[in-house]
Amino acid sequence: MLKEAWTLAIEALSWMEMRRLSERLALAKTVQQLGISDADAVRLAHMLVCETVRRRNFIDAFINRTLEPETISEFDLGVQAFLRLYVYQTRIVKNWTKIDIEEAENISKLARSILGWKTLRKVEHVLGELLTQKPKSIFEDVNDEERIGLLTFHPAWFVKYCFRTFGRQEAITLLEANTRSPPTYIRLNTLKAEEKEILEKLAEEDIKIEKVEQLRHAYKVLGTKHPLTRTASFREGLFYIQDKASCFAAEAANPKLEITVLDVCAAPGAKTTYLAQLMQNRGAIYSVDYSRRRMNVWKSEIARMGVENAVPIIANARNQLPFTVEADMVVLDPPCTSTGAFGKLPSAKWRLTRRSIDRMAEIQWRMINNCAMHVKSGGTLVYSTCSITLEENEIIIERFLKWHPEFSLAEIPPKIGLPALRGLDKCQRLYPHIHQCNGFFIAKLSKE
């Protein structure tokens, strides 16, 4: 099992480096490629990959200090992946104090059997040094933003951005929260059964949960005997694994029965399935997404959750949508930088640059304008992102209100977040360090 897990982890990290894939996509691709079916091996590989990627800048700085004058980037992808995993497992897991020579030797043997002894020979001379090198050495000759970036595992440009936006102390607290995965939340599906019945079924399967105050069907997972996706309740569609912030976005939309909803950027289905649940499968939901692969996932989730009032449409909302539907409510959750979800998706930190925010904001601007055309008079437009940047949130909304005076901000109950920045008090923000979920922004706009 250990060899399979390390093989998966090395290969997945290599795919992530080569194709800029997310953790989930890289692992899924690797599992399929290698034909590994051992669930324990896959779980261990997932943990190794996520926790190594989370600390990537710190690990690379530590390795480069040992390799001088060489750098980790000079080796092939398999060796790079192994070195990062090796430092995580032998040093970080041991809190940099205990040195387990036997474990280190066993990991080296594993790597030789996976990568080949000739490949590994290039770096074997530094494996011992990596066991004894002091991590403090990486903080020499770095400025404040770089030091905080290394301590909280973030790129220096993002640390600087957060300092400017939130102030130094608040930013550090936020960045520290990203060093941990947020809690897991589920949303009970009352399309399939009464909530009391679902709670009883979950208790029978040893899934321990706690109600999220102010939200209707969201629960925090406290413990589970088996992976949630392998339980009978999950297969039967009795719950959806969905972050608290995402549940809040659907509840903030608060769709009425029998209305027409346009759900834009709908895949893989979290929003659609919750909107349908709140609408009790009445009315109509037109779910739009550009990705056929993601819409195939959407279709399977729609079926699993018992949704009957949703129609899939393949279209790219960056362009004018190819239909004339006028909706009572348009819900837009556009692609974003995911800066609010670094705790859950650590690889996103290393794919972004400061320019990524501006590029993404321009895409979001095009999408929200295209969506505005499909809101009926008296209708509502709900805009949300899992980003904490101003450019993707408040500045988009300010610009939209100037260009579309027929729209105005509406109150969003319940008030589970904090008021948005730049005076947009009717919009809400959620933060990882305050609300124990993904960072999130939501705005609700009414059309006169």
Q: pLDDT by residue (tens digit) across 209-240? A: 999 999 999 999 999 999 999 999 999 999 99
Which CATH class, in words, describes the domain spanning 248-447? alpha beta
- The pLDDT score that the predictor gives to residue 329 is 98
CA dist 337 and 355 (Å) reads: 11
Dihedral over Cα of 15, 19, 23, 26: its sign: negative
Specify whether the CB–CB gap between 373 and 240 falls below 8 A: no
* Distance linking the first and last C-alpha atoms of the chain: 61
Alpha-carbon distance of 242 to 215, in angstroms, equals 13
164 Cβ partners below 8 Å, 6+ apart? none
The residue with tokens 């609300």 is: 435
In this prediction, residue 1 carries a pLDDT of: 86
Average pLDDT over residues 334-341: 98
Reading the block at residue 336, the tokens are 């974003």
Cα 299 from chain centroid (whole Å): 21
> How far is 104 from 129, CA to CA, in rounded Å?
12
371 is written with which tokens? 């969506």
**What residue has token string 């069907």?**
217
The CATH superfamily assigned to 2-139 is NusB-like (1.10.940.10)
Confidence of residue 172 (pLDDT cuts 50, 70, 90): very high
**Residue 65 and residue 104: Cα distance in Å, rounded?**
19
Task: Name the band, by pLDDT with cuts 50, 70 and 90, for residue 271.
Answer: very high
User: For the chain, what is the mean pLDDT?
Assistant: 96
| Class of domain 185-241 as given by CATH | alpha beta
Is pLDDT at 433 greater than 90 in this prediction?
Answer: yes
pLDDT at 238: 98
Q: Which residue numbers are catalytic?
A: 386
Residue type, 131: L
Least confident residue range of 67-76, 152-161, 434-443: 67-76
The amino acid sitting at 344 is K
The enclosing H or E element of 397 equals helix 394-403
Q: Name 332's bridge partners.
A: 264, 383
Q: Give, as one character, the DSSP assignment of residue 339.
A: T
pLDDT digits (tens, 9 = 90+) for 386-412: 999 999 999 999 999 999 999 999 999
DSSP 96-159: TT---HHHHHHHHHHHHHHH-HHHHTTTHHHHHHHHH--GGGGGTT--HHHHHHHHHT--HHHH
| Selection from 122, 87, 128, 88 nearest residue 105 by Cα | 128
Over residues 409-436, the mean pLDDT reads: 97
* pLDDT value of residue 27: 94
**d(C-alpha 268, C-alpha 131), whole Å:** 43
Instruction: List pLDDT tens digits, range 151-165.
Output: 999 999 999 999 999
Mean pLDDT of 274-283: 98
Q: Which of 78, 53, 25, 30 is nearest to 347 (CA)?
A: 53
CB 215 within 8 A of CB 161: no
Q: What is the pLDDT of residue 122?
A: 87
CB neighbour list of residue 327: distance below 8 Å, 6 or more residues apart: 259, 260, 261, 262, 286, 374, 375, 376, 379
Would you call the peptide bond into 335 cis, given omega within 30 degrees of 0 as the criterion? no
Q: How far is CA 314 from CA 309, 376, 383, in A?
A: 17, 22, 20
Average pLDDT score over residue span 414-443: 97
For residue 256, is pLDDT > 90? yes
| DSSP E strand boundaries for 185-229 | 185-188, 207-211, 218-224
Asked whether the predicted pLDDT for residue 203 surpasses 90, the reply is yes
Domain boundaries, the chain: 2-139, 144-177, 185-241, 248-447
Measure the CA–CA gap between 116 and 112, rounded to whole angstroms: 5
Is residue 258 within 8 Å of residue 205, measured between CB atoms? no
Predicted pLDDT of residue 118: 87
Count CB neighbours of 175 within 10 A: 23
* Range 30-49 average pLDDT: 92
More confidently predicted of 334 and 119: 334
Split at pLDDT 50, 70, 90, the class of 117 is confident
Is the model's pLDDT at 44 over the cut of 90? yes
For residue 37, pLDDT over 90 is answered with no
What percentage of residues in the chain have a pLDDT greater than 70? 100
Cα 199 to chain centroid distance, Å, stands at 27
- What b-and-e string marks burial along 226-260, b requiring 16 or more CB atoms within 10 Å of the CB? eebeebebbebbbbbebbbbbbbbbbbbebeeebb
